[in-house]
Amino acid sequence: MRLPEKIHKWISDEAYRADEIGMSGSSVLIFEDKVLKIQDRSKESENEYRMMLWLQKKLPVPQVLAYEIVDQKSYLLMSKCSGKMTCEEEYMRSPEAQVKVLAEGLKKLWQVDIADCPGDWNLQNKLAAAREQVEMGLVDMDNVEPDTFGEKGFRSPEDLLQWLYDHQPKEELVLSHGDYCLPNIFGEGNGVSGYIDLGRTGIADKWCDIALCYRSLSHNYTGRYHGHAYPAYDDMLLFRELGIEPDWEKIRYYILLDEFF
């Protein structure tokens, strides 16, 4: 593969493996201690770079080593996170530790001062981005929750988008990861060791991340990604660890909103 010179000089001919988890059309090359994420240049790729820089020393995010845009492709070279993704076997087999990492990861996000945060994904911006996804035909209908559309659900993405515009909840603005699912959060023991995939990270309602975390736990436990279910799943564990009561209306709202991304 031909890489921009500025990137190539960091890695020369080091061996790598290509990651197979990503669903967003990006290529992720994993080296011994570095990771190279290559994706089409977009608002999200630029936001990811900007937020990763802004969060250096604030949260355990990868160190940015180099960033280049060539021919409308973005190349982000970063350090590799220590620890394991919270969807890995070690965590799937110990839900208490897993949920401690995830809850700590959320609380640490909420403690970050957002006064000069460069990413803003408040609901107006997110709804506008969802509308763009619809207009560009980018809504992935093969990757939606089973009941979102069809007989018991919405007629179409346009129909769902209108409903989301009509039912906007009041936001509690915090620093939000924006795609708070298990493969994007790394842990070491009971603590969070890395946040990655920061394309939609910025200011947003705290329930946005709670909702996607809840959905990701449930998908991983019921076997959507592992080929088998893990019977130990208790969907209240996350809320107990966070010390808050679930707001099911908001959880449903943000899971529905995420169908566009």
Ligand X SMILES: Nc1ncnc2c1ncn2[C@@H]1O[C@H](COP(=O)(O)OP(=O)(O)OP(=O)(O)O)[C@@H](O)[C@H]1O
Catalytic residues: 179
Asked if 8 is part of the footprint of ligand X (rule: CB under 6 A), the reply reads: no
Helices (H) and strands (E) in the chain, counts: 9, 10
Give me Rg for the CA atoms of the chain. Answer: 18
Pick the stretch among 74-82, 119-127, 143-151, 227-235 that binds ligand X (CB under 6 A).
74-82
Give the residue with the Cβ less far from ligand X, 221 or 261.
Answer: 261
Q: Which two tokens mark 221?
A: 């436990």
d(CA 19, CA 36): 10
In the chain, which ranges are continuous DSSP H helix? 5-11, 43-55, 89-92, 95-111, 123-135, 157-166, 206-221, 237-242, 248-257
Asked if 24 is part of the footprint of ligand X (rule: CB under 6 A), the reply reads: yes
Question: Which of 38, 47, 62, 203 is in the footprint of ligand X by CB under 6 A?
Answer: 62
Asked if 196 is part of the footprint of ligand X (rule: CB under 6 A), the reply reads: yes
Residue in 164, 201, 161, 146 with CA at minimum distance from that of residue 179: 201
Question: Which of 44, 48, 197, 259 is in the footprint of Mg ion by CB under 5 A?
Answer: 197
Question: Which of 26, 39, 45, 184 is in the footprint of Mg ion by CB under 5 A?
Answer: 184
Q: With 0-12 CB in 10 A as exposed, 13-18 as middle and 19+ as buried, what is 205?
A: buried
Asked if 45 is part of the footprint of Mg ion (rule: CB under 5 A), the reply reads: no
Q: How many residues bind ligand X (CB under 6 A)?
A: 19
Please list every residue from 84 through 123 that binds ligand X, using CB under 6 A: 85
Question: Which of 4, 19, 108, 246 is in the footprint of ligand X by CB under 6 A?
Answer: 19
Asked if 31 is part of the footprint of ligand X (rule: CB under 6 A), the reply reads: no
**Is the sign of the CA dihedral 220, 222, 223, 229 positive or negative?**
positive
Asked if 28 is part of the footprint of ligand X (rule: CB under 6 A), the reply reads: yes
Q: Which does 246 bind (CB under 5 to 8 A by kind): Mg ion, ligand X, none?
A: none
d(CA 82, CA 48): 19
Asked if 184 is part of the footprint of ligand X (rule: CB under 6 A), the reply reads: yes
Residue in 188, 229, 205, 224 with CA at minimum distance from that of residue 93: 229
Q: Which residues bind ligand X (CB under 6 A)?
A: 19, 21-24, 26, 28, 35, 37, 62, 78, 80-81, 85, 179, 183-184, 196-197
